[in-house]
Amino acid sequence: MDTKKITDEILATIRAMNRSWTAGWHEEVFRQYIHPDAVAIVPATPGRLEGQDAYVAGWRGFCETAVIHEWRETDHKVQIYAGGKSAVVTYLFTITFDMGGQKVTMHGRDLFLLVKESRKWLVAADQYSPEPQV
């Protein structure tokens, strides 16, 4: 198993998915990265988002109300499991956006579970949260 090649594929998938919502809302592109049975836990929504439609709708809602000025990802870590068929990806992010006339900069962290289906990496689970203030 070529872990460098798999890691590069996974990071390319995550970065492309993030570009599809941070560099303008591109719903059909974004949707192609999300597993049909994906689940997400996000700080602004109680419970969890279940399924691709709910997941996409959650990001659509944000992108339709916010103007994103900057998105940065750092400190990526990829852990590969199941013989290269699944992976956990974590990283830190900073996003600056305007919402409701207010400029907001948020520092946070993402944790994704990806699965490889039909030679393509898909997000099966996502949990993000603000970075705690120290």
Contact, 31 vs 53, CB < 8 A?
A: no
Domain positions in the chain are 3-130
- pLDDT in the model for residue 50: 96
CA 11, CA 21: separation in Å to the nearest integer?
Answer: 16
- pLDDT in the model for residue 10: 98
DSSP code for 14: H
Which class is domain 3-130?
Answer: alpha beta
- pLDDT in the model for residue 1: 79
- pLDDT in the model for residue 67: 95
The full DSSP string for 16-56 is: HHHHHHHSS--HHHHHTTEEEEEEEE-TTSSS-EESHHHHH
Segments of the chain with pLDDT less than 70:
none
What global pTM score does this model have?
0.93
CA 53, CA 128: separation in Å to the nearest integer?
Answer: 18
